[in-house]
Amino acid sequence: MKMFRNYINGQWVTTAKQFEDRNPVDNTLVGMVYEAGKAEVDAAVKAARAALGGPWGKMTQQQRCNMLVAVADEIHRRFDDFLAAEIADTGKPKGLASRVDIPRGGENFRDLADLSMRFPTESYTFDTPDGGKAINYGVRTPRGVIAVISPWNLPLLLMTWKVGPALACGNTVVVKPSEVTPATATLLAEVMETVGLPPGVFNLVHGFGPDSAGAYLTEHPDVDGITFTGETRTGEAIMKAAAKGVRPVSFELGGKNAGLVFADCDFDKAVAGITRSAFENTGQVCLGTERVYVERPIFDRFVAALKKSAESLRPGNPWDEGVNFGPLVSQEHYSKVLSYYEKAKADGATVVTGGERWQLPGALAEGAWVKPTIWTGLPETSAVIREEIFGPCVHLAPFDTEEEAIALANNTPYGLACTAWTTDVSRAHRLGSAIEVGIFWINSWFLRDLRTSFGGAKQSGIGREGGSHTYEFYTETRNICVKL
């Protein structure tokens, strides 16, 4: 059995309180996690504060970036260890974790370090009232101690997406991973120790949200900025904590993302794309599609094709070849998703496929398995249409006009992402301007250039990350005016 410890000021720290980390595939015990209390969080923040004035703060930008490249190399060297840890915590298939989570988790350090070396500042010369001249130029300084609160659906990838640029900009971090996925965060702390990152630059505290490490960290007055990915209600609580001391936040929050399928689409590609956006990672993707609107002439055909595609997904042991569908991340989340399956039936949904738990044989019977689910026939007022479920489920409804499709897509308090499938280029561009989201895909989904902006509109987030947008949050810009 594994023991997951906190990492504070370059030291491994145990505590009196522990909690379980369970494998969602079969509910077996992966290990015990040492829960950080207020004292441990305070020690981590103090260590991060002290490290800003230590060797880390005196390094050149190139030296810091070289160290982050070493982190990427070490993650690659320990690829199999990270893969095993990610699968044990999340249950996701090996094919997905080895293709997305671990490679991207490592490359985030390399790519974001490279971006930081090329991020410009501004410079202006202007005429002064006395007939002379002055120069104004900008410099970027680290924001300071950054609290990183990372989610459980892509534990390594989304944590390193924040830790990489934070460190590249000269900040120090205190990381609080999700309580249900502690393993890869702990491995990352081992990597930081191996490559010789100065003590206090990277700190790790395990625990929960309220009355635990999450609340203690976000409420700590010496934290200079908070970055969080997770559900909107938790983001609201963190924002209240950040208001004291006027600390900046960067949030990627919940979504109820729409997919739009027009009659002129490449039909097979649209079916494959919506299959991915609805069911990949068992629907546990913040950018995933839970509402799909299909132009009426192809509606019945599309429903039938998506049903066939969903029913071809293969659950099972995540290490087995050909398995491409995993369990939900925890028993708690399993209960939540099943409650929405029941709500859909109560609201009169037509269950096209799924709508229940998945009975798998042997030890897998104890896992958090639900069937990929397709509904039709629900009113737009149903909780199943309005609320984020974060499971392998999607509702399909027909539309008749482009204007109707836009109105349906925008009829939500969220605004994270949308995917649209059409061969009409002009329509595609019109949709991109009209739909209220942070990222809009045309004839694709989950296609990301790390130089571009990423984030949500409305209740789906605050701020943008990616490329130059990342460094707006992780640095402070100072203007220097020189009278010539």
Catalytic residue IDs: 252
* Nearest-angstrom CA–CA distance, 296 and 302: 10
Decide if 105 contacts 184 (C-beta within 8 A). Answer: yes
Closest CA to 227 of 170, 148, 161: 148
Decide if 217 contacts 174 (C-beta within 8 A). Answer: yes
Decide if 443 contacts 273 (C-beta within 8 A). Answer: yes
* Strands ordered across the beta sheet of 461-462: 11-13, 6-8, 202-204, 172-176, 145-149, 225-229, 249-252, 461-462
Decide if 37 contacts 46 (C-beta within 8 A). Answer: no
* Nearest-angstrom CA–CA distance, 446 and 278: 11
* Nearest-angstrom CA–CA distance, 484 and 125: 10
Fill in the DSSP letter of residue 362.
G
The two structure tokens encoding residue 164: 């990489």
Closest CA to 422 of 402, 451, 397: 402
Fill in the DSSP letter of residue 35.
P
Decide if 72 contacts 109 (C-beta within 8 A). Answer: yes
* Nearest-angstrom CA–CA distance, 387 and 258: 12
Q: What are phi and psi of 72, to 5 degrees?
A: -60, -45
Closest CA to 256 of 380, 387, 378, 445: 387
DSSP 43-83: HHHHHHHHHHTSHHHHS-HHHHHHHHHHHHHHHHHTHHHHH
* Nearest-angstrom CA–CA distance, 80 and 85: 9
Parallel, antiparallel, or unpaired: how do β-strands 414-415 and 457-458 relate?
A: antiparallel
Provide the CA 456 distance to its chain's centre, in angstroms. Answer: 12
Count how many residues are written for the chain. Answer: 484
SS3 431: helix
